[in-house]
Amino acid sequence: MTLLKTKVGRRAFIKTSALAGGGLMISFSWLASCGPGTKEAEVLAMPDEWFDLNAYLKIGENGVTTIMCPNPEFGQNVKTSMPMIVAEELDMDWEKVIVEMAPFNTSLYDRQFTGGSQGIRRSWNVLRMAGATARQMLKQAAANAWGVPLEEITTASATVKHEASGQSATYGELVSAASKLPTPAEVQLKEVKDFTIVGNSKKNVDARKIVTGTPMYSLDINQEGMLTAMIVHPPAFGMKLKSFNADSVKDMPGIKEVFSFKTFQDDYVQNYFDTNTFPELVAIVGNSTWEVMNAKKALQAEWEPFDSYSFSVDAFGNKQTREVPAGLENSDSHLTAMQERASGPCTLLRKDGDPDKAFSSAAKVIERTYTAPFLAHNPMEPINCVADVTAERAIISAPIQAPELIEGTLSARLGLPLDKIEIVMTRMGGGFGRRAYGHYMVEAAVISQKVNRPVKLVYMREDDMTFGVYRPTYMATYRAALDENNQLVAYHVKAGGIPESPLGRGAANRFPAGAVDHYLAEEWSVNSNITIGAFRAPRSNFLGGAEQSFLDEVAEAAGQDPIQFRLDLLTRAKHNPVGEQNDYEADRYAGVLELVRDQSNWSQPQPGVHRGVAAYFCHNSYAAHVLELSRENGKLKVKKVTCALDCGIVVNPDAAANMAEGAIIDGIGNAFYGEMTFRNGVPEKTNFDRYRMIRMNEAPESIDVHFVKNEIDPTGLGEPPFPPIFGAVANALYKSSGKRYYHQPFLKEGVALG
């Protein structure tokens, strides 16, 4: 068994009350709103007294246990999965568990950040320790009461037993005594083989609220005296506010205030996630959404081009100066700029062997270039925030992925110390990276401070879609050299984008690096005033598709089956790797390819069904897909996707499969339709009438998800299934038409999806 010390860094699993650290415990229990007669209210009676064993859980005298979820929830199901891990080590009866959203409190919880597929991975041992610590204290309370050795005490399903004497007690009977005990210096974790909760599917703890429309989102918040606020931003990237006429709208019904403001002070050093597209905005504040919308449409404002400027950024301790170029950009010129930049000098990321010599002497060289456009995040819940700021304190309620990264920004902008700022994490209606950037919380707070009233800031869909923080536009050129025996002997990737490269040293060290004797990776970038940010599986969401499309074409040129071609390269990487910085485990990578091959019956083609395969490693996990297309009434139909994943231990299998299914559908939609274009700096797609999303009848008829079974600690799941689906789509399209697809969205190349 694994022994863990009960301290991790500055976090200690000490007994703590709900108010420890000065944070207010806000309950979002799915039982709290259950009325009389509901199943949950009948099954679980609330205790008369709660006993806190640590910041992650409290147990009532009747055995009912509340487990806190420390991380924000936006549909990835951490609010269920994280408490499952605590309950597992606690040996709790899941039917007696209530789940609450923990308060944002950095003195109690570490890394309250949802993103990068790091939530479960980074919290795995911490959550286990929380449950194991409480279990140990309950066992010690029983040993003390019964006068028996601690090592003879066992637990199961919220009950403590001493087999030799026949004595037993429930957690509720022991918790009062346990809460008075000191925290043990170390605790013993369960063996994976003994898990009874982790690895067994549990329903979403918020399911009843979701299907009944119970308020959970900050958009649902209403409080006395609250006003509605909206912002007006420049219509184009490269422009700024010149003037506005407040008189044109201030006398309209319900309008209280019209004013301009800056999101950040001029001398403020931004952090990495302080991305702010338009530094100066106009706020319109009024009584109701409808009244403010009408005033927003009527506001007379003038805009002018801005000159290039720079600002300072503290990127996790790395001080940088970022340049923002002037100009009104166009999608057509973006493509030209990338082509010109790619032909010039690039930054070397990795070089193995002698690629130049290998290419010059190759029997066959394949070279292909791939592109992908800017993408908007489009979470279903539009950007919003409720702020109540006074001279003494600020309460900010918002859907935010990274509250720890915005609290310092709020403090600096409002002139309030951190201990006077309370961030309430509400459930998010989608995140995908967009809600890692909390500028809208600062905007709402500044508006509230200005009008001295609580305000609810709401972005219209048009505001959200045209405000920036997009997935960048990318380009990558790949070359492969084959010898006279059709063996891959050299590989070259040169990738870049606007305003960043998708490559970087991490991706440059991924497969097929390490499997080819002569390997070269280079990157470049073109600056822009269009703001970008993390988009599900950042950078990998392009590279995974482009690389996997290219490898399929190389496999065909070599006369090999595309799956076996990849497996042969991985065998080389395992037994005779090139270089020492290879950022993947060949065995695990091969494992998902073998699993998807077997589960999709790859060796047994079906008449009229065209299949494409792709696999990718990113965010510490491995994913492989086989996508099947057919033609029906002249249109392509995605019949089935078979998915294989290695993400270590799967905490909640049904929820994990749901996450993979969502990534697959999202990826297919973006591959066929996703695109944001610009003309003279103006985003040309402002709502879903022009920004095409996948529709229900275009989703795969079936998605079959399989997990590699192992006892590796969880390695992340939200991001990894997304990148390879783009390659699987492109490769299946080729099989259906005989034409290769290099430029997303594929719909522009004449594809019709039905």
Question: What's the token pair of residue 163?
Answer: 């087999």
Q: Quote the pLDDT of residue 749.
A: 65
How far apart, in whole angstroms, are the C-alpha atoms of residue 291 and residue 300? Answer: 16
> Does the pLDDT value for residue 9 go beyond 70?
no
DSSP label of 219: G
At 111, is the pLDDT very low, low, confident or very high (cuts 50, 70, 90)?
A: confident
Place of tokens 């994490």: 425
Task: Verify cis geometry, omega within 30 degrees of 0, for the bond prior to 745.
Answer: yes
Q: Quote the pLDDT of residue 2.
A: 74
Question: Contact 611/732 with Cβ under 8 angstroms?
Answer: yes
Question: Contact 741/733 with Cβ under 8 angstroms?
Answer: yes
At 33, is the pLDDT very low, low, confident or very high (cuts 50, 70, 90)?
A: very low
Give residues with Cβ within 8 angstroms of 680, minimum separation 6. 236, 328, 329, 330
More reliable by pLDDT, 276 or 724 = 724
Query: Where are the domains positioned within the chain?
Result: 3-212, 218-310+383-458, 473-749
> Does the pLDDT value for residue 144 go beyond 90?
yes
Q: Quote the pLDDT of residue 26.
A: 24
Q: Quote the pLDDT of residue 10.
A: 38
Q: What is the mean pLDDT of residues 581-610?
A: 96
More reliable by pLDDT, 272 or 613 = 613
Q: pTM of the entire structure?
A: 0.93
The fold for domain 3-212 equals Aldehyde Oxidoreductase; domain 4 (3.30.365)
Name the amino acid, one letter, at 294.
N
Name the amino acid, one letter, at 679.
R
DSSP characters over 31-89: TTTPPTT-HHHHH-PPPS-EEEEETTEEEETTS-EEEEE-S--SSS-HHHHHHHHHHHH
How far apart, in whole angstroms, are the C-alpha atoms of residue 177 and residue 486? Answer: 72
Q: Quote the pLDDT of residue 41.
A: 38
How far apart, in whole angstroms, are the C-alpha atoms of residue 606 and residue 583? Answer: 36
Instruction: Give 448-451's long-range contacts (Cβ < 8 A, gap of 24+).
Output: 448/387, 448/388, 448/389, 448/394, 449/389, 449/394, 449/414, 450/257, 450/259, 450/261, 450/283, 451/227, 451/256, 451/257, 451/285
Closest CA to 372 of 542, 528, 531: 542
How far apart, in whole angstroms, are the C-alpha atoms of residue 365 and residue 378? Answer: 40
Q: What is the mean pLDDT of residues 115-122?
A: 90
Question: Contact 338/498 with Cβ under 8 angstroms?
Answer: yes
Q: What is the mean pLDDT of residues 58-81?
A: 94
- Phi then psi for residue 593, to 5 deg, are -65, -45
pLDDT digit string (tens) for 207-265? 999 899 999 999 999 999 999 999 999 999 999 999 999 998 999 999 999 999 999 99
Closest CA to 134 of 79, 80, 97, 95: 97
Question: What's the token pair of residue 254?
Answer: 């319900």
Question: What's the token pair of residue 501?
Answer: 């490269």
> Does the pLDDT value for residue 429 go beyond 50?
yes
How far apart, in whole angstroms, are the C-alpha atoms of residue 666 and residue 694? Answer: 8
More reliable by pLDDT, 32 or 395 = 395
What is the distance between the terminal CA atoms of the chain, rounded to a whole angstrom?
53
How far apart, in whole angstroms, are the C-alpha atoms of residue 737 and residue 121? Answer: 41
Q: Quote the pLDDT of residue 42.
A: 42
How far apart, in whole angstroms, are the C-alpha atoms of residue 173 and residue 197? Answer: 23
Q: Quote the pLDDT of residue 632.
A: 86
218-310+383-458: CATH number: 3.30.365.10
Q: Strand 300-305 and strand 347-352: pairing? A: unpaired
Question: Contact 162/144 with Cβ under 8 angstroms?
Answer: no
- The helix/strand/coil state of 703 is strand
Name the amino acid, one letter, at 98.
I
At 753, is the pLDDT very low, low, confident or very high (cuts 50, 70, 90)?
A: confident
Q: Quote the pLDDT of residue 1.
A: 57
Q: What average pLDDT does the chain have?
A: 92
Environment class of residue 740 by beta-carbon count within 10 Å: exposed (0-12), middle (13-18) or buried (19+)? middle
How far apart, in whole angstroms, are the C-alpha atoms of residue 172 and residue 133? Answer: 16
Question: Contact 482/488 with Cβ under 8 angstroms?
Answer: yes
The fold for domain 473-749 equals Aldehyde Oxidoreductase; domain 4 (3.30.365)
pLDDT digit string (tens) for 309-363? 999 999 888 999 999 999 999 999 999 999 999 999 999 999 999 999 999 999 9
Q: What is the mean pLDDT of residues 267-275?
A: 92
DSSP characters over 273-295: T---S-SEEEEEEESSHHHHHHH
How far apart, in whole angstroms, are the C-alpha atoms of residue 404 and residue 441? Answer: 13
Q: Quote the pLDDT of residue 4.
A: 66
Q: Quote the pLDDT of residue 24.
A: 22
Identical fold, 218-310+383-458 and 473-749: yes
